[in-house]
Chain A
Protein backbone atom coordinates (compact mmCIF):
# COMPACT_ATOMS: atom_id res chain seq x y z
CA UNK A 1 0.00 0.00 0.00
CA UNK A 2 1.37 3.43 -0.94
CA UNK A 3 2.27 5.71 1.97
CA UNK A 4 3.65 8.64 -0.02
CA UNK A 5 2.64 9.43 -3.56
CA UNK A 6 4.38 12.27 -5.39
CA UNK A 7 3.13 13.14 -8.85
CA UNK A 8 4.11 16.01 -11.15
CA UNK A 9 5.55 17.92 -8.20
CA UNK A 10 6.71 21.41 -9.09
CA UNK A 11 8.23 24.03 -6.81
CA UNK A 12 9.90 27.42 -7.11
CA UNK A 13 12.09 29.72 -5.07
CA UNK A 14 10.50 33.03 -6.01
CA UNK A 15 10.81 33.45 -9.77
CA UNK A 16 13.26 30.58 -10.10
CA UNK A 17 11.61 27.20 -10.69
CA UNK A 18 13.47 24.31 -9.07
CA UNK A 19 11.20 21.31 -9.61
CA UNK A 20 9.57 20.59 -12.98
CA UNK A 21 7.81 17.29 -12.32
CA UNK A 22 8.99 14.88 -9.66
CA UNK A 23 7.23 11.51 -9.51
CA UNK A 24 7.66 8.54 -7.19
CA UNK A 25 5.69 6.35 -4.84
CA UNK A 26 6.85 4.99 -1.51
CA UNK A 27 5.10 1.98 0.00
CA UNK A 28 4.51 1.28 3.69
CA UNK A 29 7.69 -0.23 5.22
CA UNK A 30 9.75 0.48 2.11
CA UNK A 31 13.13 2.21 1.91
CA UNK A 32 13.44 4.51 -1.10
CA UNK A 33 16.67 6.15 -2.20
CA UNK A 34 16.29 9.58 -3.77
CA UNK A 35 19.37 10.16 -5.87
CA UNK A 36 20.84 12.74 -8.19
CA UNK A 37 23.78 15.06 -8.63
CA UNK A 38 24.19 18.21 -6.55
CA UNK A 39 21.63 20.94 -7.22
CA UNK A 40 19.20 18.68 -9.10
CA UNK A 41 16.31 19.16 -6.67
CA UNK A 42 16.54 16.39 -4.06
CA UNK A 43 16.49 18.68 -1.01
CA UNK A 44 13.86 20.89 -2.67
CA UNK A 45 11.69 17.77 -3.11
CA UNK A 46 12.08 17.00 0.60
CA UNK A 47 11.26 20.59 1.52
CA UNK A 48 8.14 20.43 -0.65
CA UNK A 49 7.05 17.13 0.93
CA UNK A 50 7.56 18.61 4.41
CA UNK A 51 5.62 21.73 3.32
CA UNK A 52 8.55 24.02 3.98
CA UNK A 53 8.20 25.63 0.56
CA UNK A 54 5.12 26.14 -1.64
CA UNK A 55 4.65 23.54 -4.36
CA UNK A 56 2.09 22.22 -6.82
CA UNK A 57 1.17 18.80 -8.15
CA UNK A 58 0.00 15.75 -6.23
CA UNK A 59 1.43 15.15 -2.79
CA UNK A 60 -0.47 12.45 -0.88
CA UNK A 61 0.69 11.05 2.44
CA UNK A 62 -1.26 8.35 4.30
CA UNK A 63 -4.42 9.34 2.44
CA UNK A 64 -4.02 13.07 3.12
CA UNK A 65 -3.34 15.79 0.58
CA UNK A 66 -0.25 17.45 2.04
CA UNK A 67 -0.87 20.60 0.04
CA UNK A 68 -3.80 21.38 2.33
CA UNK A 69 -1.64 21.28 5.43
CA UNK A 70 0.90 23.60 7.06
CA UNK A 71 4.32 22.13 7.82
CA UNK A 72 3.64 21.23 11.46
CA UNK A 73 0.40 19.41 10.58
CA UNK A 74 2.18 17.41 7.89
CA UNK A 75 4.80 16.46 10.48
CA UNK A 76 2.08 15.37 12.90
CA UNK A 77 0.73 12.97 10.28
CA UNK A 78 4.02 11.11 10.61
CA UNK A 79 6.67 12.83 8.54
CA UNK A 80 9.95 12.76 10.47
CA UNK A 81 12.66 14.88 8.87
CA UNK A 82 16.39 14.65 9.50
CA UNK A 83 17.37 17.83 7.67
CA UNK A 84 20.50 18.45 5.67
CA UNK A 85 23.12 20.01 7.95
CA UNK A 86 21.61 18.42 11.10
CA UNK A 87 19.98 21.65 12.38
CA UNK A 88 19.62 20.57 15.98
CA UNK A 89 18.19 23.08 18.45
CA UNK A 90 21.64 24.40 19.34
CA UNK A 91 20.73 26.15 22.60
CA UNK A 92 19.03 23.08 24.07
CA UNK A 93 20.69 20.05 25.61
CA UNK A 94 20.50 16.59 24.02
CA UNK A 95 17.68 15.56 26.37
CA UNK A 96 15.84 18.84 25.78
CA UNK A 97 16.09 18.42 21.99
CA UNK A 98 14.49 15.00 22.34
CA UNK A 99 11.80 16.09 24.82
CA UNK A 100 10.83 19.14 22.73
CA UNK A 101 10.09 16.91 19.72
CA UNK A 102 8.47 14.02 21.61
CA UNK A 103 5.09 12.73 20.48
CA UNK A 104 3.31 9.68 21.91
CA UNK A 105 4.36 6.32 20.49
CA UNK A 106 7.03 3.65 20.40
CA UNK A 107 10.06 5.94 20.54
CA UNK A 108 11.17 7.38 23.85
CA UNK A 109 14.43 8.84 25.17
CA UNK A 110 15.33 5.40 26.55
CA UNK A 111 14.86 3.74 23.14
CA UNK A 112 16.74 6.49 21.31
CA UNK A 113 19.70 6.28 23.70
CA UNK A 114 19.62 2.48 23.38
CA UNK A 115 20.04 3.05 19.65
CA UNK A 116 22.68 5.76 20.13
CA UNK A 117 24.48 5.06 23.45
CA UNK A 118 26.73 8.04 22.82
CA UNK A 119 23.70 10.34 23.10
CA UNK A 120 22.82 8.68 26.39
CA UNK A 121 26.22 9.73 27.76
CA UNK A 122 25.65 13.33 26.69
CA UNK A 123 22.03 13.95 27.66
CA UNK A 124 22.88 17.08 29.65
CA UNK A 125 25.25 18.51 27.04
CA UNK A 126 24.22 21.35 24.74
CA UNK A 127 23.62 20.32 21.13
CA UNK A 128 25.96 23.07 19.89
CA UNK A 129 28.87 21.47 21.75
CA UNK A 130 28.44 18.00 20.17
CA UNK A 131 30.64 16.68 17.37
CA UNK A 132 29.19 16.51 13.84
CA UNK A 133 28.51 12.78 14.16
CA UNK A 134 26.80 13.19 17.51
CA UNK A 135 24.70 16.04 16.14
CA UNK A 136 23.65 13.76 13.29
CA UNK A 137 22.66 11.06 15.77
CA UNK A 138 20.72 13.67 17.71
CA UNK A 139 18.96 14.86 14.54
CA UNK A 140 17.93 11.25 13.81
CA UNK A 141 16.93 10.70 17.43
CA UNK A 142 14.87 13.88 17.42
CA UNK A 143 13.05 12.78 14.27
CA UNK A 144 12.44 9.34 15.80
CA UNK A 145 10.97 10.99 18.93
CA UNK A 146 8.14 12.30 16.73
CA UNK A 147 7.25 8.64 16.12
CA UNK A 148 7.11 9.05 12.35
CA UNK A 149 5.60 6.70 9.80
CA UNK A 150 8.07 8.00 7.25
CA UNK A 151 11.62 8.96 8.22
CA UNK A 152 13.27 11.32 5.73
CA UNK A 153 17.07 11.45 5.89
CA UNK A 154 18.53 14.27 3.83
CA UNK A 155 22.28 13.75 3.31
CA UNK A 156 22.58 12.16 6.75
CA UNK A 157 26.18 11.03 6.28
CA UNK A 158 27.53 14.13 4.55
CA UNK A 159 30.78 15.46 5.99
CA UNK A 160 31.15 12.73 8.60
CA UNK A 161 34.15 10.52 9.39
CA UNK A 162 34.03 7.02 7.82
CA UNK A 163 33.46 5.34 11.20
CA UNK A 164 30.50 7.59 11.99
CA UNK A 165 29.12 7.11 8.47
CA UNK A 166 29.23 3.35 9.01
CA UNK A 167 27.38 3.82 12.30
CA UNK A 168 24.66 5.90 10.62
CA UNK A 169 24.24 3.32 7.83
CA UNK A 170 24.04 0.55 10.44
CA UNK A 171 21.32 2.56 12.17
CA UNK A 172 19.33 2.92 8.96
CA UNK A 173 19.68 -0.83 8.32
CA UNK A 174 18.56 -1.58 11.88
CA UNK A 175 15.56 0.74 11.55
CA UNK A 176 14.56 -1.04 8.35
CA UNK A 177 14.98 -4.43 9.97
CA UNK A 178 13.35 -3.77 13.34
CA UNK A 179 10.55 -1.31 12.59
CA UNK A 180 7.69 -0.97 10.17
CA UNK A 181 8.80 2.57 9.39
CA UNK A 182 9.19 3.71 5.78
CA UNK A 183 12.41 5.55 4.99
CA UNK A 184 13.23 8.08 2.29
CA UNK A 185 16.98 8.45 2.13
CA UNK A 186 18.99 10.96 0.15
CA UNK A 187 22.68 10.23 -0.21
CA UNK A 188 25.45 10.15 -2.75
CA UNK A 189 27.11 6.87 -1.73
CA UNK A 190 25.56 4.31 -4.04
CA UNK A 191 27.23 1.29 -2.45
CA UNK A 192 25.60 1.94 0.96
CA UNK A 193 22.28 2.96 -0.58
CA UNK A 194 22.18 -0.28 -2.55
CA UNK A 195 22.41 -2.25 0.69
CA UNK A 196 19.45 -0.64 2.44
CA UNK A 197 17.11 0.67 -0.29
CA UNK A 198 14.32 -1.36 -1.83
CA UNK A 199 13.66 1.14 -4.59
CA UNK A 200 15.11 4.32 -6.03
CA UNK A 201 14.15 7.49 -7.83
CA UNK A 202 16.67 9.66 -9.65
CA UNK A 203 16.14 13.38 -10.09
CA UNK A 204 17.92 15.40 -12.76
CA UNK A 205 17.24 19.07 -13.45
CA UNK A 206 14.18 19.09 -11.23
CA UNK A 207 12.41 16.05 -12.63
CA UNK A 208 12.35 12.32 -12.13
CA UNK A 209 14.39 10.64 -14.85
CA UNK A 210 14.34 7.13 -13.48
CA UNK A 211 12.43 5.20 -10.82
CA UNK A 212 12.11 1.55 -10.00
CA UNK A 213 13.46 -1.28 -7.87
CA UNK A 214 17.01 -0.82 -6.57
CA UNK A 215 18.03 -4.12 -8.11
CA UNK A 216 17.00 -2.87 -11.54
CA UNK A 217 19.23 0.21 -11.36
CA UNK A 218 21.93 -0.22 -13.99
CA UNK A 219 25.45 1.15 -13.94
CA UNK A 220 24.71 3.14 -17.11
CA UNK A 221 21.85 4.99 -15.45
CA UNK A 222 23.81 5.81 -12.31
CA UNK A 223 26.79 6.94 -14.33
CA UNK A 224 24.61 9.18 -16.49
CA UNK A 225 22.50 10.77 -13.74
CA UNK A 226 24.31 10.29 -10.44
CA UNK A 227 27.88 10.45 -11.67
CA UNK A 228 29.13 7.24 -10.02
Chain B
Protein backbone atom coordinates (compact mmCIF):
# COMPACT_ATOMS: atom_id res chain seq x y z
CA UNK B 1 0.00 0.00 0.00
CA UNK B 2 1.20 3.51 -0.83
CA UNK B 3 1.24 6.08 1.94
CA UNK B 4 -1.78 8.37 1.61
CA UNK B 5 0.26 11.54 1.93
CA UNK B 6 2.33 10.56 -1.15
CA UNK B 7 -0.83 9.88 -3.15
CA UNK B 8 -2.26 13.22 -1.99
CA UNK B 9 0.89 15.12 -2.94
CA UNK B 10 1.10 13.35 -6.33
CA UNK B 11 -2.54 14.13 -7.03
CA UNK B 12 -2.14 17.83 -6.28
CA UNK B 13 1.08 17.98 -8.29
CA UNK B 14 -0.64 16.23 -11.21
CA UNK B 15 -3.59 18.58 -11.03
CA UNK B 16 -1.19 21.51 -11.24
CA UNK B 17 1.01 19.96 -13.91
CA UNK B 18 -1.77 19.23 -16.45
CA UNK B 19 -2.80 22.88 -17.05
CA UNK B 20 0.85 24.00 -16.98
CA UNK B 21 1.63 21.46 -19.69
CA UNK B 22 -1.50 22.57 -21.58
CA UNK B 23 -0.20 26.13 -21.37
CA UNK B 24 3.11 25.05 -22.92
CA UNK B 25 1.44 23.23 -25.80
CA UNK B 26 -1.21 25.96 -26.15
CA UNK B 27 -4.29 23.88 -25.26
CA UNK B 28 -6.56 26.35 -23.40
CA UNK B 29 -9.47 23.89 -23.44
CA UNK B 30 -7.49 21.46 -21.27
CA UNK B 31 -6.91 24.28 -18.78
CA UNK B 32 -10.65 24.94 -18.68
CA UNK B 33 -11.24 21.23 -18.15
CA UNK B 34 -8.78 21.18 -15.26
CA UNK B 35 -10.46 24.28 -13.82
CA UNK B 36 -13.81 22.50 -13.96
CA UNK B 37 -12.29 19.51 -12.13
CA UNK B 38 -10.81 21.81 -9.48
CA UNK B 39 -14.12 23.62 -8.90
CA UNK B 40 -16.10 20.37 -8.68
CA UNK B 41 -13.41 19.07 -6.31
CA UNK B 42 -13.86 22.18 -4.15
CA UNK B 43 -17.63 21.63 -4.00
CA UNK B 44 -17.09 17.98 -3.09
CA UNK B 45 -14.45 18.88 -0.46
CA UNK B 46 -17.19 21.00 1.11
CA UNK B 47 -19.70 18.14 0.98
CA UNK B 48 -17.09 15.71 2.34
CA UNK B 49 -16.98 17.67 5.62
CA UNK B 50 -20.69 16.94 6.14
CA UNK B 51 -20.82 13.50 4.53
CA UNK B 52 -17.39 12.05 5.22
CA UNK B 53 -16.63 13.47 8.66
CA UNK B 54 -20.12 14.21 9.98
CA UNK B 55 -21.93 11.22 8.44
CA UNK B 56 -24.57 13.56 7.00
CA UNK B 57 -25.72 12.24 3.63
CA UNK B 58 -26.91 15.53 2.22
CA UNK B 59 -28.74 15.11 -1.07
CA UNK B 60 -29.29 18.85 -1.27
CA UNK B 61 -25.84 20.39 -1.48
CA UNK B 62 -26.76 21.73 -4.92
CA UNK B 63 -28.74 24.33 -2.94
CA UNK B 64 -25.48 25.86 -1.66
CA UNK B 65 -23.75 25.45 -5.02
CA UNK B 66 -26.66 27.29 -6.64
CA UNK B 67 -26.78 29.98 -3.97
CA UNK B 68 -23.08 30.63 -4.56
CA UNK B 69 -23.71 30.72 -8.30
CA UNK B 70 -26.67 33.06 -8.04
CA UNK B 71 -24.75 35.32 -5.61
CA UNK B 72 -22.20 35.79 -8.38
CA UNK B 73 -24.86 36.02 -11.10
CA UNK B 74 -27.01 38.62 -9.38
CA UNK B 75 -24.12 40.86 -8.26
CA UNK B 76 -22.44 40.73 -11.67
CA UNK B 77 -25.75 41.15 -13.53
CA UNK B 78 -26.48 44.43 -11.72
CA UNK B 79 -22.94 45.68 -12.18
CA UNK B 80 -22.75 44.87 -15.91
CA UNK B 81 -26.16 46.36 -16.66
CA UNK B 82 -25.62 49.46 -14.46
CA UNK B 83 -28.87 48.58 -12.73
CA UNK B 84 -28.70 49.28 -8.98
CA UNK B 85 -29.88 46.44 -6.76
CA UNK B 86 -32.54 47.73 -4.35
CA UNK B 87 -32.41 45.64 -1.19
CA UNK B 88 -35.15 47.64 0.53
CA UNK B 89 -32.87 49.00 3.26
CA UNK B 90 -30.05 49.95 0.85
CA UNK B 91 -29.31 50.34 -2.83
CA UNK B 92 -26.27 48.50 -4.16
CA UNK B 93 -24.66 48.86 -7.57
CA UNK B 94 -23.66 45.21 -7.79
CA UNK B 95 -20.02 44.25 -8.22
CA UNK B 96 -17.61 42.56 -10.58
CA UNK B 97 -15.02 42.00 -7.84
CA UNK B 98 -14.40 38.31 -7.19
CA UNK B 99 -13.35 38.69 -3.52
CA UNK B 100 -16.57 40.61 -2.73
CA UNK B 101 -18.65 38.06 -4.67
CA UNK B 102 -16.96 35.17 -2.82
CA UNK B 103 -17.64 36.81 0.52
CA UNK B 104 -21.33 37.21 -0.36
CA UNK B 105 -21.46 33.63 -1.72
CA UNK B 106 -19.88 32.23 1.44
CA UNK B 107 -22.11 34.23 3.80
CA UNK B 108 -25.37 33.51 1.96
CA UNK B 109 -24.67 29.80 1.53
CA UNK B 110 -23.52 29.50 5.16
CA UNK B 111 -26.71 31.23 6.28
CA UNK B 112 -28.83 28.92 4.12
CA UNK B 113 -26.90 25.90 5.45
CA UNK B 114 -27.55 27.08 9.00
CA UNK B 115 -31.30 27.37 8.44
CA UNK B 116 -31.56 24.13 6.42
CA UNK B 117 -29.33 22.31 8.91
CA UNK B 118 -31.33 23.58 11.88
CA UNK B 119 -34.46 21.92 10.48
CA UNK B 120 -32.88 18.93 8.73
CA UNK B 121 -30.77 17.81 11.69
CA UNK B 122 -33.92 17.10 13.65
CA UNK B 123 -34.12 14.04 11.41
CA UNK B 124 -31.62 11.36 10.46
CA UNK B 125 -31.06 8.61 7.92
CA UNK B 126 -33.37 8.52 4.94
CA UNK B 127 -35.47 11.42 6.30
CA UNK B 128 -32.38 13.63 6.40
CA UNK B 129 -31.61 12.70 2.79
CA UNK B 130 -35.16 13.52 1.73
CA UNK B 131 -35.45 16.80 3.63
CA UNK B 132 -32.17 18.13 2.21
CA UNK B 133 -33.32 17.09 -1.27
CA UNK B 134 -36.63 18.87 -0.69
CA UNK B 135 -34.87 22.11 0.29
CA UNK B 136 -32.67 22.01 -2.83
CA UNK B 137 -35.71 21.37 -5.02
CA UNK B 138 -37.46 24.36 -3.42
CA UNK B 139 -34.54 26.55 -4.49
CA UNK B 140 -34.58 24.94 -7.95
CA UNK B 141 -38.26 25.72 -8.57
CA UNK B 142 -37.88 29.18 -7.07
CA UNK B 143 -35.01 29.92 -9.49
CA UNK B 144 -37.09 28.67 -12.44
CA UNK B 145 -39.89 31.06 -11.54
CA UNK B 146 -37.55 33.99 -10.73
CA UNK B 147 -38.18 35.89 -13.97
CA UNK B 148 -36.21 38.93 -12.83
CA UNK B 149 -33.04 36.83 -13.11
CA UNK B 150 -33.89 34.95 -16.28
CA UNK B 151 -36.12 32.24 -14.84
CA UNK B 152 -35.41 28.94 -16.56
CA UNK B 153 -32.92 30.63 -18.96
CA UNK B 154 -30.70 31.86 -16.14
CA UNK B 155 -28.30 34.81 -16.28
CA UNK B 156 -25.43 35.32 -18.70
CA UNK B 157 -22.42 37.33 -17.56
CA UNK B 158 -20.56 38.90 -20.47
CA UNK B 159 -17.12 39.27 -18.97
CA UNK B 160 -15.57 37.18 -16.19
CA UNK B 161 -15.35 39.00 -12.86
CA UNK B 162 -12.16 40.74 -11.72
CA UNK B 163 -9.50 39.70 -9.28
CA UNK B 164 -6.97 42.33 -8.16
CA UNK B 165 -3.68 42.00 -9.99
CA UNK B 166 -4.80 39.18 -12.32
CA UNK B 167 -6.41 38.89 -15.72
CA UNK B 168 -9.14 36.34 -15.04
CA UNK B 169 -9.89 35.99 -18.74
CA UNK B 170 -6.57 34.20 -19.16
CA UNK B 171 -7.48 30.55 -18.46
CA UNK B 172 -4.32 29.68 -16.54
CA UNK B 173 -4.76 32.69 -14.24
CA UNK B 174 -8.35 31.77 -13.46
CA UNK B 175 -7.20 28.17 -12.92
CA UNK B 176 -4.61 29.50 -10.43
CA UNK B 177 -7.34 31.29 -8.47
CA UNK B 178 -9.50 28.15 -8.32
CA UNK B 179 -6.54 25.92 -7.46
CA UNK B 180 -5.53 28.26 -4.62
CA UNK B 181 -9.12 28.15 -3.28
CA UNK B 182 -9.04 24.33 -3.42
CA UNK B 183 -5.69 24.12 -1.61
CA UNK B 184 -6.99 26.53 1.04
CA UNK B 185 -10.15 24.43 1.48
CA UNK B 186 -8.08 21.23 1.76
CA UNK B 187 -5.82 22.86 4.34
CA UNK B 188 -8.87 24.03 6.30
CA UNK B 189 -10.36 20.53 6.01
CA UNK B 190 -7.15 18.89 7.29
CA UNK B 191 -6.90 21.32 10.21
CA UNK B 192 -10.56 20.88 11.04
CA UNK B 193 -10.37 17.09 11.10
CA UNK B 194 -7.38 17.10 13.45
CA UNK B 195 -8.87 19.76 15.76
CA UNK B 196 -10.82 18.90 18.94
CA UNK B 197 -13.95 19.90 17.00
CA UNK B 198 -13.12 17.46 14.20
CA UNK B 199 -12.38 14.65 16.63
CA UNK B 200 -15.63 15.30 18.48
CA UNK B 201 -17.50 15.35 15.15
CA UNK B 202 -15.90 12.05 14.20
CA UNK B 203 -16.93 10.57 17.56
CA UNK B 204 -20.45 11.98 17.16
CA UNK B 205 -20.71 10.25 13.78
CA UNK B 206 -19.65 6.93 15.32
CA UNK B 207 -21.67 6.97 18.54
CA UNK B 208 -24.00 9.98 18.82
CA UNK B 209 -25.47 8.87 22.14
CA UNK B 210 -22.11 8.24 23.82
CA UNK B 211 -20.59 11.61 22.94
CA UNK B 212 -23.32 13.26 24.95
CA UNK B 213 -22.01 11.56 28.10
CA UNK B 214 -18.75 13.47 27.71
CA UNK B 215 -20.61 16.78 27.39
CA UNK B 216 -20.71 17.09 23.60
CA UNK B 217 -23.87 18.10 21.75
CA UNK B 218 -23.90 16.00 18.54
CA UNK B 219 -26.56 18.14 16.86
CA UNK B 220 -24.54 21.29 17.38
CA UNK B 221 -21.35 19.64 16.13
CA UNK B 222 -23.13 18.43 13.01
CA UNK B 223 -24.76 21.82 12.44
CA UNK B 224 -21.39 23.59 12.54
CA UNK B 225 -19.98 21.00 10.12
CA UNK B 226 -23.00 21.42 7.84
CA UNK B 227 -22.57 25.23 7.79
CA UNK B 228 -18.84 25.04 6.99
CA UNK B 229 -19.62 22.43 4.35
CA UNK B 230 -22.35 24.59 2.78
CA UNK B 231 -20.11 27.68 2.75
CA UNK B 232 -17.30 25.88 0.87
CA UNK B 233 -19.77 24.42 -1.64
CA UNK B 234 -21.24 27.92 -2.05
CA UNK B 235 -17.80 29.31 -2.89
CA UNK B 236 -17.39 26.55 -5.47
CA UNK B 237 -20.75 27.58 -6.96
CA UNK B 238 -19.57 31.18 -7.37
CA UNK B 239 -16.37 30.00 -9.10
CA UNK B 240 -18.32 27.59 -11.32
CA UNK B 241 -20.62 30.41 -12.40
CA UNK B 242 -17.56 32.54 -13.20
CA UNK B 243 -15.98 29.70 -15.17
CA UNK B 244 -19.06 29.38 -17.39
CA UNK B 245 -20.03 33.05 -17.14
CA UNK B 246 -23.52 31.68 -16.79
CA UNK B 247 -25.91 30.85 -13.97
CA UNK B 248 -29.05 28.75 -14.33
CA UNK B 249 -31.50 26.82 -12.12
CA UNK B 250 -29.65 23.60 -13.07
CA UNK B 251 -27.06 24.56 -10.47
CA UNK B 252 -29.76 23.74 -7.87
CA UNK B 253 -30.77 20.45 -9.47
CA UNK B 254 -30.72 17.12 -7.67
CA UNK B 255 -28.51 15.76 -10.45
CA UNK B 256 -25.75 18.01 -9.21
CA UNK B 257 -26.27 16.95 -5.58
CA UNK B 258 -26.04 13.34 -6.75
CA UNK B 259 -22.91 14.02 -8.81
CA UNK B 260 -21.17 15.54 -5.79
CA UNK B 261 -21.95 12.41 -3.77
CA UNK B 262 -20.70 10.24 -6.65
CA UNK B 263 -17.40 12.18 -6.74
CA UNK B 264 -16.84 11.53 -3.05
CA UNK B 265 -17.75 7.83 -3.21
CA UNK B 266 -15.52 7.41 -6.26
CA UNK B 267 -12.52 9.07 -4.61
CA UNK B 268 -13.10 7.93 -1.02
CA UNK B 269 -15.60 9.03 1.64
CA UNK B 270 -13.95 10.81 4.56
CA UNK B 271 -10.54 10.85 2.86
CA UNK B 272 -8.94 14.27 2.52
CA UNK B 273 -8.20 13.96 -1.21
CA UNK B 274 -11.08 11.59 -2.01
CA UNK B 275 -13.26 14.35 -3.48
CA UNK B 276 -10.34 15.70 -5.53
CA UNK B 277 -9.53 12.31 -7.05
CA UNK B 278 -13.25 11.71 -7.61
CA UNK B 279 -13.62 15.03 -9.43
CA UNK B 280 -10.56 14.41 -11.60
CA UNK B 281 -11.81 10.93 -12.56
CA UNK B 282 -15.33 12.25 -13.17
CA UNK B 283 -14.19 15.08 -15.47
CA UNK B 284 -11.74 12.79 -17.26
CA UNK B 285 -14.46 10.17 -17.86
CA UNK B 286 -16.92 12.86 -18.92
CA UNK B 287 -14.39 14.21 -21.43
CA UNK B 288 -12.91 11.02 -22.84
CA UNK B 289 -15.92 8.72 -22.71
CA UNK B 290 -18.30 11.60 -23.48
CA UNK B 291 -16.36 12.09 -26.72
CA UNK B 292 -17.04 8.48 -27.70
CA UNK B 293 -20.68 8.16 -26.69
CA UNK B 294 -23.45 10.26 -25.19
CA UNK B 295 -24.25 7.31 -22.92
CA UNK B 296 -20.99 7.65 -20.98
CA UNK B 297 -22.95 7.69 -17.70
CA UNK B 298 -23.46 3.93 -18.14
CA UNK B 299 -19.70 3.43 -17.90
CA UNK B 300 -19.57 5.79 -14.91
CA UNK B 301 -22.34 3.76 -13.25
CA UNK B 302 -20.41 0.53 -13.82
CA UNK B 303 -17.25 2.03 -12.35
CA UNK B 304 -19.20 3.36 -9.37
CA UNK B 305 -20.73 -0.07 -8.87
CA UNK B 306 -17.26 -1.61 -8.91
CA UNK B 307 -15.96 0.91 -6.38
CA UNK B 308 -18.90 0.42 -4.03
CA UNK B 309 -18.68 -3.38 -4.23
CA UNK B 310 -14.93 -3.91 -4.26
CA UNK B 311 -13.30 -0.71 -2.97
CA UNK B 312 -15.32 0.63 -0.06
CA UNK B 313 -12.75 3.33 0.64
CA UNK B 314 -12.96 4.58 -2.96
CA UNK B 315 -9.94 4.75 -5.25
CA UNK B 316 -7.88 6.33 -2.45
CA UNK B 317 -8.79 3.34 -0.26
CA UNK B 318 -7.76 0.99 -3.06
CA UNK B 319 -4.36 2.68 -3.33
CA UNK B 320 -3.68 3.38 0.34
CA UNK B 321 -5.76 0.84 2.27
CA UNK B 322 -8.39 1.52 4.92
CA UNK B 323 -8.50 4.90 6.63
CA UNK B 324 -5.81 5.45 9.25
CA UNK B 325 -3.54 2.66 8.02
CA UNK B 326 -1.19 4.78 5.97
- Enumerate chain A interface residues (CB-CB to B < 8 A): 50-52, 70-73, 75-76, 79-81, 83, 87, 89-92, 96-97, 99-103, 126, 142-143, 145-146
Contacts and interface: CB of A to CB of B under 8 A. Distances in A.
Contact of A92 (B203, B209, B217): B203
A24 to B, nearest CB: 20
Contacts of B217: 70, 72
Contact of A91 (B202, B209, B218): B202
Given A89-B206, A126-B324, A81 B199 contact: no
B215 A87 contact: no
Contacts of B216: 72, 75, 100-101
Interface residues of B, number: 19
Given A76-B215, A100-B196, A100-B200, 12 more contacts: A50-B213, A52-B213, A71-B212, A72-B211, A73-B215, A75-B212, A81-B213, A89-B202, A92-B203, A92-B206, A101-B214, A143-B214
Given A100-B196, A143-B214, A146-B215, A52 B203 contact: no
- Grouping DSSP codes into helix (H, G, I), strand (E, B) and loop, the A interface class, with mixed when no group exceeds half, is mixed
Most chain B beta-carbon neighbours within 10 Å: one of A51, A75, A103: A75
B183 interface: no
B207 A92 contact: no
B214 A100 contact: yes
B49 to A, nearest CB: 17
Q: Which 5 A-B pairs have the closest CB atoms?
A: A71-B212, A75-B215, A101-B214, A100-B199, A89-B203
A97 B196 CA distance: 10
B206 A70 contact: no
Given A87-B207, A89-B207, A102-B196, A75 B202 contact: no
A94 B206 CA distance: 15
Contact of B212 (A72, A102, A103, A145): A72
Interface string B178-215: 00000000000000000010011011001101111111
